[in-house]
Amino acid sequence: MRCASCGAELVATRADLPFQLDDADSVTLRSVPILACETCPEILIDKAVMRMTDEILELMRRKSTITDAQRRELDRRLDDLEREGPVGLTWDEMEAKARSRRE
């Protein structure tokens, strides 16, 4: 996959990403799977990873704890993502598929 900003190759890696919970609190999620550009600071986060990240952040905003069952489910989803890689189509693939249907 190519970077939308500079056209360089995107590589699968992990990063520690900071998020703002509210006006006073922030959190850094460690080792988040991302696609990072080899030449510029652009990154992409898979939709499944972003949904999981949103769930974690929402729980933290409510200051509730994650149950053991929820933690196991999150771990299972991360394991699936690591094993299968990002699933779905890139924007370019979707666009090409849509254009081919019109022809």
pLDDT of 19 strictly over 70: yes
Confidence of residue 13 (pLDDT cuts 50, 70, 90): very high
Question: In the chain, which residue ranges form alpha helices assigned H by DSSP?
Answer: 47-61, 68-84, 91-102
pLDDT on residue 65: 67
pLDDT tens digit sequence for 20-32 = 887 778 899 999 9
Q: What average pLDDT does range 64-74 have in this prediction?
A: 81
pLDDT on residue 64: 60
- Is domain 10-89 classified as CATH 3.30.1490? no
User: How far is residue 85 from each of residues 1, 48, 57, measured CA to CA in Å?
Assistant: 13, 10, 22
Of 19 and 24, the one with more pLDDT: 19
Q: What average pLDDT does range 2-14 have in this prediction?
A: 92
